Structure 1
Amino acid sequence: MRTGRHGRRRRWPRALTPWMFLLLPLAFVVTFSMVPIATMIVYSFTDWDGISPDYAFTGLANYTDIATRPQLFKVFLTSLYYLGASVVQIVLALYFATILSFNVRFRNFFKGVLFFPYLINGVAIGFVFLYFFQPGGTFDTFLAFFGVEGRLWLGDPDLVNYSLAGVSVWRYLGLNFVLFLGGIQSISPDLYEAAEIDGASRWDQFRHIILPLLRPLIGLSVILAVSGSLSVFEIPYIMTGGAGNSETFVIQTVKLAFQFNKTGLASAAAVVLLVLILIVTWVQRRLFPEERTETV
């Protein structure tokens, strides 16, 4: 009988071991993700100003206000610039990942150069490029060598979004680059050897081996690109504050909460953005389902 009891006591901790490892991460997820989201949804049905301890439930009034204000959705046009920049970013990341996956001189150096911007804090990047694009700054000095006149890159409403989107390409290129590079390096070398025996060129290897096997990663990058373009905040907020047609939906939401003290309306706007991102992600996964590949 003692042996049976001791056996039960030994098996009990083993059954709890996986849950003990998951306890702390789950606690963080619930505390810093689930609870704030639930609280935000509750506040979206109130008229809370973010300061007063008292608030009243207003039902769907905030959502009705958002739906009847076209100017609140006009800022989504700004997201198109960042979406276009994301396409450029994915193409460049795929190009550099393919080139540097082969034997190239100084490839480790170039890998570090491409990935380094992603490690820098977004606030620091915003301030650096704020001086980079200022009149008479680094960019204008560089263009002066080619006889090109400087422009108000952040002050011209027709140029500001192109400038900000270019900064986002520089910053997030490294993330997609690392994802694609890891996917390419996980491909079996036997496939390349068989392709070379058959006389396939580098372009043929990319088109028939690399690109098909990277479709799941490319799909993930597209999801991140769409959701990121809808929720752009730190770069335009730091560099322009949303001025000159550079205001995004998130900047507008922050202004509603902290500048106009309409936290209830801002919470409703945040819920709308969350729902839009979930819908876009769901549609993208339905149109481009994940393909399972079996390795032999």
Structure 2
Amino acid sequence: MSTATPSRTAARTPGTRPPTNPRAPRKRAGIFGGRMTPWLFLIVPLAFLIVLTYVPVANMFWYSVTSWDGLDEEKEFVGLANYIEIFTRPELFQVFFVSLYYLAGAIAQLVIALFFATLLSFKTRFRNLFKGIIFFPYLINGVAIGLMFLYFFRPDGTLDALLAALGVTDTPQWLGDSSVVNSSLAATSVWRYMGLNFVLFLGAIQSVPVEQYEAADLDGANSWHKFRFIIVPSIRRILGLSFILAIAGALSAFEMPYIMTGGANGSETFVIQTVDTAFRFAKVGLASAMAVVLLVIVLVITAVQRAFFPDEKKGLS
């Protein structure tokens, strides 16, 4: 008489779950395996952001409604008196007109950077060399650039020597004549910061899929059509960001005019005036109010730009 030996693998019935493997790795429990992990990585950056950015900004708003010389422990609350002084004293607010030179230079800088980024994003001879040449000025220290261009613009300096070789001998005082000093400083800023915009545009253009250019070639599109209908729409967000940075940089120009002229000969910008108000004339409260006004202007311009040129959010269908 034989007995049936039961099989080692029991038949599964529909709907039953397979047995779990006892040797399968288990998820690590605890803080590092839960939902708190992202916040743990953000603690240090958030702490630096709060301590080094938001706390000083909050103090700036508080100082702007006080009369304080930066040294005394007591601060006298004056309300909106500092803001009223800014808008009622023309010499404090008219320096914003100097920013128009830097704004014109910033727009020219964007156009030149976009041109070279478009040109060098395609196969061009020695394109890596030209990329390095264009981006290199942005890596140089600002003080070194200021001192270098001091010799470039000085009387009988490099620029005058180049113009004399071309037959131009009657040249102005590039940094001493109030009619040309701001144009000279704005041109220096264009050379200084064009590399940053160039890299931003170049990275955005190179992220455009090659298939779009191939399809345009099949449709008979020329270089202008590719630029207008493929490149510009694809880098619209980068263009908007660069435009905002250009306006903010024009309003807050400080480095080049402070190093090269110190704000003399009609080259004083709003930021230079703010620094002088705080540290030369010991009016930290008034200087803080000027900084708040500049911050509000930049935020308003950014909001207007966002309203007229909103970001296009493309959803997956």
TM-superposed CA distance for 1:24, in Å, is 1.0
The answer for the alignment partner of 2:4 in structure 1 is none
The 3-state SS of whatever aligns with 1:75 is helix
Match of residue 300, structure 2, among 252, 256, 279: 279
**2-side partners of 1:295 and 1:234: how far apart?**
45
CA 1:294–1:211: 2 relative to 1, 3 Å: farther
Amino acid at match of 1:12: I
TM-superposed CA distance for 1:8, in Å, is 9.4
Aligned length: 290
TM-superposed CA distance for 1:215, in Å, is 1.3
The answer for the alignment partner of 1:256 in structure 2 is 277
Match of residue 140, structure 1, among 145, 157, 160: 160
The answer for the alignment partner of 2:98 in structure 1 is 78
Match of residue 96, structure 1, among 116, 128, 147: 116
TM-score scaled by length of structure 2: 0.88
Pairing 1:90-239 to 2, within 5 Å after superposition:
90-149=110-169, 150-239=171-260
| Deviations, residues 195-238 of structure 1 (Å, cap 9, x unaligned) | 11111111111111111211111111110011111110011011
User: 2:27 matched to 1:13?
Assistant: no
| Deviations, residues 169-199 of structure 1 (Å, cap 9, x unaligned) | 1111111111111111000000111111111
The answer for the alignment partner of 2:69 in structure 1 is 49
TM-superposed CA distance for 1:294, in Å, is 5.6
Work out whether residues 48 and 56 of structure 1, in 8 Å CA contact, stay in contact via their aligned partners in 2.
Answer: yes
**2-side partners of 1:106 and 1:134: how far apart?**
34
TM-superposed CA distance for 1:52, in Å, is 2.0
TM-superposed CA distance for 1:54, in Å, is 2.3
**2-side partners of 1:18 and 1:190: how far apart?**
37
CA 1:240–1:203: 2 relative to 1, 3 Å: same
Match of residue 67, structure 1, among 79, 82, 87: 87
Amino acid at match of 1:165: A
| Deviations, residues 116-156 of structure 1 (Å, cap 9, x unaligned) | 11111222211111111111111111111101123210000
The answer for the alignment partner of 1:3 in structure 2 is none
CA 1:185–1:8: 2 relative to 1, 3 Å: closer
**2-side partners of 1:191 and 1:168: how far apart?**
35
The answer for the alignment partner of 1:4 in structure 2 is none
TM-superposed CA distance for 1:11, in Å, is 4.3
**1-side partners of 2:316 and 2:304: how far apart?**
28
Amino acid at match of 1:153: W
Amino acid at match of 1:266: A
**2-side partners of 1:195 and 1:240: how far apart?**
51
Identity across matched positions, percent: 59
The 3-state SS of whatever aligns with 1:10 is coil
Work out whether residues 140 and 151 of structure 1, in 8 Å CA contact, stay in contact via their aligned partners in 2.
Answer: no
The 3-state SS of whatever aligns with 1:269 is helix
Larger radius of gyration: 2
TM-score scaled by length of structure 1: 0.94
Structure 2 portions without partners, runs of 5+: 1-25
